[in-house]
Structure 1
Amino acid sequence: MHTWPVQDAKARFSELLECCLAEGPQIVTKRGAEAAVLVSVEEWRRLQTAARPSLKQLLLSDAARGELNVPARGKARRRSVDLKG
């Protein structure tokens, strides 16, 4: 991965984008510290898909089996309704 200071990334964004598409993720630094990473859309979608469990994984996991946490009912009483009017 290539590292770009934020000033260079701003001034040479087209080049940064081309490097990202050709070489892979590019790191942008701010005051010497890593601040962001530019990745291609394909890489982003791959990462998003890999981070999400499938429905099958959710249903088979222990996390899907548990008690339903229902909040306690409030103490407010319902108003009475006059059905004659």
Structure 2
Amino acid sequence: MEAWQMHGAKARFAELVKRAQTQPQDITLHGKSVAVVMSRETFDRLSQAQESLVDFMRRSPLLGADDITLERDPSVTNDVPL
């Protein structure tokens, strides 16, 4: 990922956007990353709704298995002093 200082990104905004079409561009301010410019296609792919945990569990090959034994480590406690 290419890094741009804020003032350079402002001065060359059209070039920044053009480069973001092929690879995300990092914007820095005082040496710290503050923003990333990316293509709309990349943004849409990364932000689309993911399946829920319930849907994931329903696809599990263990769904309906009655012979699963889960063991708890007895040495670990959650005792909280009152």
| C-alpha distance in structure 2 between counterparts of 1:7 and 1:38, whole Å | 15
Alignment of 1:41-52 (within 5 A): 41-49=40-48, 52=49
Deviations 1:5-61 (A, max 9, x none): 00000000001011111x310000001100000010000000011xx3336x54565
Matched, 1:53 2:50: yes
| C-alpha distance in structure 2 between counterparts of 1:16 and 1:43, whole Å | 15
Matched, 1:9 2:6: no
Letter in structure 2 aligned against 1:40:
S
Identify unmatched segments of 5+ residues in structure 2.
59-82
Alignment of 1:64-75 (within 5 A): none
SS of the aligned residue for 1:4 comes to strand
Report the aligned-residue RMSD.
2.0
Which 4+ stretches in 1 moved above 2 angstroms?
52-55, 57-62
Give 1 or 2 for the bigger CA radius of gyration: 1
TM-score normalised by length of structure 1: 0.59
Letter in structure 1 aligned against 2:27:
V
Which is richer in helix? Answer: 1
Equivalent residue pairs, number: 58
Residue identity (%): 33
